[in-house]
């Protein structure tokens, strides 16, 4: 069974095609996964592996570990483009998410003032005003929307709340407007394909309704727990990007 990728609260730095030199902050357990989605493509594996034993890292520990890492990196003369909340699940489920965002911004200002702070979120907790407020304080609020068609959304992202619909996600994301970057994973399997005309048209309608700062599209580049998925080629992603830009007037990047 494919299992979690990150075994530390602070991980990296790693070079990310989409984000540059990135130091990761994993607020979810180091030995298990907790997420409000259970995406077929999740690099951390399926939720069925369990939440592990470590629990959510307390705020003070996150702050201390991040500060120690930034001091070491700066002492070694290393550059840093971005500090990214990601990891083995959904970062916004941490009850102290907003306070931790403030700690990370303060440490960024102290040690790497030119670095950005990014959050990769699956958008499901944007009904919580505290989460929304924290996401508005970061430089790159990267929110997931993989399909605007309910059957595909449910088959691909597999929300733990069976009543959640893409329409509700879109309504929540409208709160951000330009203060979000929408991230969409394009994939195919024998059972679904979010690159077909109906899917792209529905996504474009959702993008127009949200009116984000930009859109980031990508496909698979690591093993996935569902082995039926196949990646969409770079040429196809380029064509999708042009089509989405024409339909929405929003810049598309990251493919």
226 is written with which tokens?
Answer: 């569902």
Site string for ligand SF4, 103-122 (x = CB under 6 A): -------------------x
Which residue's CB is nearer to ligand SF4, number 44 or number 200? 44
Q: Does 39 bind ligand SF4 (CB under 6 A)?
A: yes
CB of 208 to ligand SF4, least distance (A): 24
Site string for ligand SF4, 55-94 (x = CB under 6 A): ----------------------------------xx----
Which residue's CB is nearer to ligand SF4, number 49 or number 64? 49
DSSP-based three-state secondary structure for 91: helix
Strands 187-188 and 230-231: antiparallel
Which residue's CB is nearer to ligand SF4, number 142 or number 252? 142
CB of 34 to ligand SF4, least distance (A): 9
Q: Does 38 bind ligand SF4 (CB under 6 A)?
A: yes
CB of 86 to ligand SF4, least distance (A): 8
Rounded Cα–Cα distance for residues 66 and 251 (Å): 33
Which residue's CB is nearer to ligand SF4, number 52 or number 243? 52
CB distance 113 to 54 below 8 Å: no
Rounded Cα–Cα distance for residues 241 and 253 (Å): 7
Which residues have CB under 8 Å from 54's CB, separation 6+?
A: 29, 30, 31, 32
Span from 8-16, 34-42, 64-72, 240-248 in contact with ligand SF4 (CB under 6 A): 34-42
Which residue's CB is nearer to ligand SF4, number 50 or number 249? 50
CB of 95 to ligand SF4, least distance (A): 18
201-211 exposure pattern, b = at least 16 Cβ within 10 A, e = fewer:
ebbbebbeebe
Closest by CA position to 7, among listed 90, 239, 24 = 24
Which residue's CB is nearer to ligand SF4, number 73 or number 146? 146
Q: Does 35 bind ligand SF4 (CB under 6 A)?
A: yes
Instruction: Check the CA dihedral 77-106-19-246 and report its sign.
Output: negative
Closest by CA position to 48, among listed 226, 189, 192 = 226
CB of 39 to ligand SF4, least distance (A): 3
Instruction: Give bridge partners of residue 83 from the DSSP assignment.
Output: 23, 117
Which residue of 42, 56, 145, 164 would you call a contact of ligand SF4, by CB under 6 A? Answer: 42
Q: Does the bond joining 13 to the residue before it have cis omega, within 30 degrees of 0?
A: yes
What residues line the site for ligand SF4 (CB under 6 A)?
35, 37-39, 42, 44, 89-90, 122
């Amino acid at each position: 069974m494919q299992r979690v990728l990150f075994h530390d609260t602070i991980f990296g730095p790693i070079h990310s095609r989409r984000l540059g030199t990135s130091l990761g902050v994993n607020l979810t357990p180091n030995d298990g996964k907790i997420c409000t989605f259970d995406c077929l493509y999740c690099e951390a594996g399926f939720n069925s592996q369990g939440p592990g034993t470590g629990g959510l890292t307390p705020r003070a520990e996150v702050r201390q570990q991040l500060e120690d890492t930034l001091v070491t990196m700066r002492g070694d003369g290393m550059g840093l483009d971005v500090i990214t909340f990601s990891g083995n699940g959904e970062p916004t489920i941490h009850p102290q998410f907003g306070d931790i965002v403030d700690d990370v911004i303060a440490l960024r200002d102290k040690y790497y003032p030119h670095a950005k702070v990014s959050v990769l979120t699956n958008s499901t907790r944007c009904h919580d005003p505290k989460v929304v407020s924290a996401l508005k304080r970061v430089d790159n609020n990267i929110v997931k929307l993989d399909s605007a068609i309910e059957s595909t959304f449910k088959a691909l992202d597999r929300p733990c709340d069976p009543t959640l619909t893409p329409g509700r996600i879109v309504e929540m994301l409208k709160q951000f407007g330009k203060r979000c970057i929408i991230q969409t994973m394009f994939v195919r399997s024998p059972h679904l394909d979010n690159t077909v005309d109906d899917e792209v048209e529905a996504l474009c309608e959702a993008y127009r309704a949200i009116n984000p700062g930009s859109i980031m599209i990508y496909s698979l580049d690591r093993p996935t727990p569902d082995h039926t998925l196949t990646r969409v080629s770079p040429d196809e992603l380029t064509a999708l990007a042009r089509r989405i830009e024409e339909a929405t007037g929003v810049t598309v990047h990251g493919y």
